[in-house]
A = this chain, B = another copy of it.
Amino acid sequence: MISIFHVENRIEANMNRDQVKVKSDELFDFTKQTLIHAGLSKKDASITSKVLLTADKRGIASHGVARLNRYLTAIDNGVIIPNASIELIKETPVSMVIDGHGGMGAVVSYKTMQKCIEKAKKNYMCFASVRNSNHYGIAGFYSLMALRENLIGFSATNSAPLVVPTFAKDAVIGTNPISIGFPGKNAPFLLDMATSTVPRGKLEVYARDEKEIPLVWATDKHGVPTKDAPKVLENVLYRKGGGLLPLGGSEEKTGGHKGYGLSVMVDLLTGGLSGGAMATEVYGRKNHPSGVCHFFGVIHPDAFCGLKSVETQVEMMISLLKGLSPSKGNHQVFVAGEKEFIAEKKCEKEVLLQRKVFETLQKIGSKNGLCLQSSDSEKN
Instruction: Let me know if A103 is at the binding interface, CB within 8 A.
Output: no
Expressed in whole angstroms, the Cα–Cα distance for A279 and B329 within the complex equals 24
Taken together as a complex, chains A and B put the C-alpha atoms of A80 and B344 apart, in Å, by: 46
| Residue A259 lies at the interface, judged by CB distance under 8 Å to chain B | yes
- Protomer copies: 2
Q: For residue A55, which residues in chain B have a CB less than 8 angstroms away from its CB?
A: none
Tell me, in angstroms, the Cα distance from A321 to B167 when the chains sit together.
10
Q: Given A258-B247, A327-B223, A336-B257, decide whether A273 and B310 contact each other with a Cβ distance below 8 A.
A: yes
Is residue A303 contacting chain B, with contact meaning CB distance below 8 A?
A: yes
Which residues of chain B are within 8 angstroms of A279 by Cβ–Cβ distance? 317, 320
**Docked CA distance A274–B172 (Å):** 38
Docked complex: A239-277 residues within 8 A CB-CB of B:
247-250, 253-255, 257-262, 264-265, 267-268, 271-275
Q: How far is the CB of A253 from chain B (nearest CB, A)?
A: 6
User: Do the beta carbons of A166 and B333 come within 8 Å of each other?
Assistant: yes
Q: Within 8 Å of chain B (Cβ to Cβ): is A11? A: no
State which residues 308-325 of A face B: CB under 8 Å: 309-310, 313-314, 316-317, 320-321, 324-325
Q: Please, how many angstroms separate the alpha-carbon atoms of A299 and B273 in the complex?
A: 11
Chain B residue nearest in CB terms to A225:
B327
Binding stretch for chain B, among A56-64, A69-77, A120-128, A368-376: A120-128
Docked CA distance A166–B339 (Å): 14
In the complex, A170→B320 CA distance in Å?
12
Q: Are A334 and B273 in contact (CB under 8 A)?
A: no
Q: Closest chain B residue to A332 by CB distance? A: B167
Residues of chain A at interface, number, CB under 8 A:
85
Pairwise interchain contact A95-B333, C-beta atoms closer than 8 A: no
> When the two chains form their complex, are residues B261 and A324 in contact, meaning their CB atoms are under 8 A apart?
no
> Is there contact, CB below 8 Å, between A127 and B303?
yes
Residues of B within 8 A of A165 (CB): 321, 324, 333
Of listed A258, A262, A330, residue having the most chain B CB within 10 A: A258
A313-B278 in contact (CB<8A): yes
Contact B334 A170 (CB under 8 A): no
Asked if A142 CB lies within 8 Å of chain B CBs, one says no
Interface centre among A304, A317, A330 (most CB of B within 10 A): A304
Q: Which B residue's beta carbon lies closest to that of A222?
A: B328
**Most chain B beta-carbon contacts within 10 A, residue among A214, A279, A309, A333:** A333
Instruction: Give the residues in chain B near A275, CB-CB below 8 Å.
Output: 305, 309, 313
Chain B residue at smallest Cβ distance from A301: B273
Q: Hey, which chain B residues are within 8 Å of A254, CB to CB? A: 197, 214, 216, 249
Residues of B within 8 Å of A268, CB to CB, are 182, 189, 313-314, 317
Residues of chain B contacted by A95 (CB below 8 angstroms): 124-125, 299, 303-304
Given A172-B320, A247-B258, A327-B168, are A92 and B224 neighbors across the interface (CB < 8 Å)? no
> A326-349 CB contact bits vs B (8 Å, 1 = yes)?
111111111110000000000000
Give chain A's interface residues, CB within 8 Å of chain B: 89-90, 92-95, 97, 123-125, 127, 129, 164-170, 172, 180, 182, 189, 191, 193, 197-198, 214, 216, 219, 222-224, 247-250, 253-255, 257-262, 264-265, 267-268, 271-275, 278-280, 299, 301-305, 309-310, 313-314, 316-317, 320-321, 324-336
- Nearest first, the 3 A-B pairs at minimum CB distance are A223-B327, A95-B303, A167-B330
